[in-house]
Structure 1
Amino acid sequence: MALKSLVNVSHAGLLFNDDWTRSEVSHYARYFITAALFLVLIISRRERYPNLPRLNPKKGMEFTWRARLLDYMGRSRELLSEGTRQFADKPYKLYTELGDILVVPNKYAEELKSVRALDFSESASDATHGYVPGLNPFTTEPGFIAVIQNYLTKALVSLTAPISLEASKALRDVFTDSKEWKEVTPDDIMLVVSRMSSRIFMGEELCNDEEWIRESAQYVSAAFQGIFELSQWPRAMRPVVHWFLPRFGEIRQRLRRCRAVLQPHVDRRLAAKAAAGAGGGPTPRYNDSIEWFARELRPDHDPTNMQLSLTLVAVHTTTDLLTQTMMDIAKHPEILGPLREEAVSVLRSDGLKKSAFQKLRLMDACFKESQRLRPVMLAYFRRFAKEDVKLQDGFVIKKGTQIAMDGRAVLLNEADYPEPLRWDPYRFLRMRETAGGAAANKAHLVSASDKHVGFGHGIHACPGRFFAANELKVALAHVLLKYDWKLPTDATDLPPTVVGSSYMLPYGVKFLVARRQEELDMDAMEC
């Protein structure tokens, strides 16, 4: 009865209909299901770490974890901070949207960063992404991450100028050339980033396909909303519940639309290659991710799934950091002058080369400081133990355990970052100047270390961070030189939004932008 009232599956004709319950088979099946449910209950109650403390235990008459899950979804920052204060450098248990996890202290970060028995993919995608059609290549497509890392590294060498050109076109279309103040939202910024990324991932033809840009952006938006909706359900129920949530019906529909837009492009390529082969001519070659995946992955891979996954991991996170950094700069307008002076000086001297954007040190520091104060993930180093891992102090992370670490304890550590709640990008410039060797390198945006975990840490740190850093700097250089921007009064002091283990941009954030006369014409520059 409870199951019927929850998801109304009897009306869907899937489980527990009258014909099924009256059949002879069902007489035995009911016993089997009852026994299975008791077995699941027993297994779920069995503790891997009976001697470790739990931060959010069940209360009174709570027979499921749903209340603890909803409490975590709304109070994750407070709970993780309390866990760090209460248990200091000792592991403890915590129930989250990932299920039951072991929160290990940050002192283990260096020891664990290269342990391959701790796998990223299962902990990150299994809990929610695995049920979102189109967003699960990490576990189903071996080599996906390696392909992205390999080709994005190559793209950085030769494709900075095309990215800059697409940024200019996109800003002209989205921000416009009006000298009057115009309202711009994070969705508008995502359109710009999406076109820049698509120029590399999908080539010049598709990056200007308005239907693909629109449909893929709407798909990703719906998918993120679906992930957060699903994360509020107990993990054991997600394989069933997602079929009955209206949001997931929308996600599947949007996936079909994306596939309908992309497939003709893929078919034309295949036809061109087939025609060239039949005529004995050279096979056409394309330098974009559609071609990369066709060359490196299984022949039956789904091109649409691959592109949407790229949109998720590249466009969303890049938009997030660009928007957050623009917010922080708007709150500290005194830094606009130095940022523009640096951009004009470096780009005038070096042009649109990759090395030029590496010299934008103050800009690099602004991104790193914004990411420190408001990263994408609250709980970082999320891993799944594929086998027992014994630490140097004797503690054993047991096979099947999901672990995480408290990112705020690292990023707001006063010993490393004096006045940790103050936005001060110059702290990273000082670090470059005063520290030497490897310590100075940790001040770079792309550096992943145990002192700054915005891009993760260890062997599973973000593989696209070098490309993302370059793309972010190209975008911000255009915005700096071509536009003034500010936060309207009602968007000045918006608090960051946290849902479970993830940060999101503050609800209601927007900008007012106006075209200015740039000191340097980036559009006329060559690589």
Structure 2
Amino acid sequence: MESGMLAYGLLAFATVAYLFRWLMPPKSSLPDIPAVTPTTPILSFWGSIKNLTHNKELILEGYHKYKGRAFKVPELFRWHVIVTGPKLVDELRKAPDEMLSFKDAVIEQISMDWTFGPAIMGNPYHIPLIRSNLTRNLVVLFSGVREELMAAFNDAIPPSDDWIAVPALETLMTIVSRTSNRIFVGLPTCRNPDYVDLNIKFTIDAVTTGIMLNMVPAFLRPIVGRLLTSVPKSIERGVKHLGPVIKERYRMVEEYGHDYEGKPNDMLSWLIDEAEGVETGARELVLRILSINFGAIHTSSNSFTHALYRLASNPEWTLTLREEVEQVVKEEGWTKNALQKMHKVDSFLKESQRCDGLGSVSITRLAVQDFTFSDGTFIPKGTFVSAAMMPIHHDEEFYENPEMFNPWRFAEKRSGEGEELKHQLVSTNTEYITFGHGKHACPGRFFAANELKGMLAHVVTTYDVKLEKDGEIPPPSWIAQSLVPNRTGKVLFRKRRD
């Protein structure tokens, strides 16, 4: 959905929400937790409308007023509690699931019953596969990933002696989809244009539907959800591509056993091996693959677009990165181990995540029981709680000159004794929570990091890049708590000159 249409849609749904708010006031006003907007019903409603487009300002205001404590921001049908300071952030990530639930927060926040279907989080057997099988196979599968990202870039941005303007986010979604699906479903499906388009459309539809459904009361979501959801059509479209593949793999398993010779080593095979009962059906496996694609495409394409805009705004950084990549590759070749040694590449991406990131909050939980933090902050059942990610990442207590984009910030930190691992892109702590923190930190971050580093290394060794307007990064957008890179911004590419 185009940004203008989305804006009109948000306004329409906000109007409906205004009418129903009087019928369904927030369950708790959380009177003991300070707010960044007025708390009276009418004014808090207008505060919730402001939160849709100015969440960044509200979160920053709360963080600086109540640092080390909790505060609350208004949403259409609830208050959302934000905790600050390392102590409370650590307590949030350590809180038991039976009290502050990650799973229930995900289901509620993106209206998962309608954006993905209830089975995905009802039986999330794919998550251990992402955490274990996918991570363990990164070394073995790296050559295929590298081959695919090279082919995808070459198809989308053919090296040219002349500058070519490329729509950044749109192009990168295609490249990320192809590269990710090389390891999800393999060749030739990962290169099929309709299959690539399906996964991108499913990702965009899921985000848009989730936003819309959060703007109507819970009792209306089954009705509105049936009107908005694209899941059934997406599954049908996916079955056309993957149905015959799934059928053939089951035939091979039945005839030769689970470890048959030539068995593809990809996510689809791992799912087939683990699926039980109804989940063994082709439609169910297709939906599982679509959902995994959502996680890969949405976060990685947004993250790399932010990073690409930063790189193109200062083309001189390309030379520094290029020098590191070529030196490491000369010693290690194009391998996963080589990526591990590209400290400046890793640092550039981590600094981009710190400065831009995916939004204002992280480590979001839903209280399924009453919970009390050590400072006495009481969180009643049914309350959303998050950590203030964006202000933490811009706090001078944790980062020197936090408003400055220093591409080598984390590479320099890694040079200290005992600091080698702490400042990697995939590492999390209470001061860096892009991937969350603790046991629910993003399970796919190791794959994502390798994919992003491989993409950045390829870009700097293959192209020169710059912005259409020198140094002027296309402005991003805020939609509630999410930071979205400019959807129409373009980056200029040409074949490298030196």
Same fold (TM over 0.5): yes
Letter in 1 for 2:79: D
Distance 1:271 1:238 in 2: 40
Aligned to 1:285: 263
Label 1:364 to 1:299 Cα distance change in 2 as closer, same or farther (>3 A).
same
Separation in structure 1 between the aligned mates of residue 45 and residue 231 of structure 2, nearest angstrom: 25
SS in 2 for 1:375: coil
Please give the alpha-carbon distance, in whole angstroms, between the structure 2 residues aligned to 1:58 and 1:391: 22
Larger mean Cα displacement after TM superposition, 209-218 or 136-145: 136-145
SS of equivalent to 2:73: strand
Distance 1:112 1:456 in 2: 11
Report the AA paired with residue 329 of structure 1: L
CA 1:502–1:46: 2 relative to 1, 3 Å: closer
Amino acid at match of 1:189: L
- Alignment match, 2:472: 492
Q: Structure 2: which amino acid aligns with 1:272?
A: M
Give the alignment partner of residue 81 of structure 2, picking from 102, 122, 129: 102
Q: How far did residue 40 of structure 1 move?
A: 7.9
Report if the CA contact (8 A) 2:189-2:195 is conserved. Answer: yes
Measure, in 2, the Cα distance between the counterparts of 1:97 and 1:275: 55
Q: TM-score, normalised by structure 1?
A: 0.82
* Correspondence 1:444 to 2:424: yes
SS in structure 1 at match of 2:80: strand
Which residue, 156, 166, 177 being the options, matches 1:194? 177
Q: What is the CA distance between 1:503 and its match in structure 2?
A: 0.7
Supply the distance in 2 between the matched residues of 1:183 and 1:125 (Cα, whole angstroms).
Answer: 39
Q: Does 2:493 match 1:513? A: yes
Match of 1:375 among 357, 377, 384: 357
Residues 491 and 510 in structure 1, CA contact (< 8 A), matched pair in contact too: no
Structure 2 vs 1, CA of residues 50 and 159 (structure 1 numbering), >3 Å: closer, same or farther?
A: same
Structure 1 residues 437-475: Cα deviation after superposition (integer angstroms, max 9, x where no partner): 2x4533211111111111111111111111111111111
- Shift in Å, 1:150: 0.6
Separation in 2, partners of 1:299, 1:377: 38
Deviations 1:370-406 (A, max 9, x none): 0001111211110122334443334443433320121
Q: Does 1:321 align with 2:303?
A: yes
Q: How much does 1:46 deviate?
A: 4.3
Alignment of 1:338-377 (within 5 A): 338-377=320-359
Q: 1:347 to 1:514 in 2, by over 3 A?
A: same
Residues 97, 333 of structure 1: alpha-carbon distance in 2 compared, 3 angstrom cutoff: farther
Unaligned runs of 5+ in 2: 1-11, 14-19
* Higher Cα Rg, which structure: 1
Contact 1:273 1:284 in 2 (8 A): no
Provide the rounded CA distance (Å) in 1 between the counterparts of 2:67 and 2:305: 34
Shift of 1:135: 6.0
Counterparts in 2 of 1:462 and 1:400: CA distance versus 1, 3 Å: same
Of stretches 127-136 and 311-320 in structure 1, the one that deviates more from structure 2 is 127-136
Letter in 2 for 1:179: D
Alignment partners' CA distance in 2, 1:253 and 1:321: 28
Two-structure CA RMSD over aligned residues (Å): 2.9
Q: Extract unaligned runs of 5+ from structure 1.
A: 1-5, 8-36, 519-527
Q: Note if contact 1:220-1:312 (Cα within 8 Å) is conserved in structure 2.
A: yes
Q: Would you say 1:473 and 2:453 are equivalent positions?
A: yes
- How far 1:273 sits from its partner (Å)? 3.3
Q: Write the distance in 2 (CA, Å) between the matches of 1:51 and 1:158.
A: 54
Amino acid in structure 2 at the alignment position of 1:56: T
Task: Give the percent of matched residue pairs that are identical in Structure 1 and Structure 2.
Answer: 28
User: In structure 2, do the counterparts of structure 1 residues 52 and 232 end up closer, same or farther at CA, with 3 Å as the change threshold?
Assistant: same
CA contact (8 A) 2:347 2:411 kept: yes
Local SS of the residue matching 2:137: helix
After superposition, the C-alpha distances for 1:44-90 in whole angstroms (9 at most, x for unaligned) are 5542733333333455657xx75443221111111111212333332
Show the counterpart of 2:6.
none
For residue 28 of structure 2, the aligned residue among 47, 51, 57 is 47
Q: 2: distance between equivalents of 1:38 and 1:473?
A: 46
Query: What aligned pairs does 1:117-516 form with structure 2 within 5 A after superposition?
Result: 117=97, 118-134=100-116, 138-185=120-167, 186-244=169-227, 248=228, 252-276=232-256, 282=260, 285-301=263-279, 302-434=284-416, 436-437=417-418, 439-489=419-469, 492-516=472-496
**TM-score under structure 2 length normalisation:** 0.87
CA separation of 1:68/1:254 partners in 2, compared to 1, >3 Å: closer, same or farther?
Answer: farther
| Cα displacement (A) at 1:275 | 4.6
Aligned equivalents of 2:118, 2:56: Cα separation in 1 = 27
1:491 and 1:267 map into 2 onto residues whose CA distance is 52
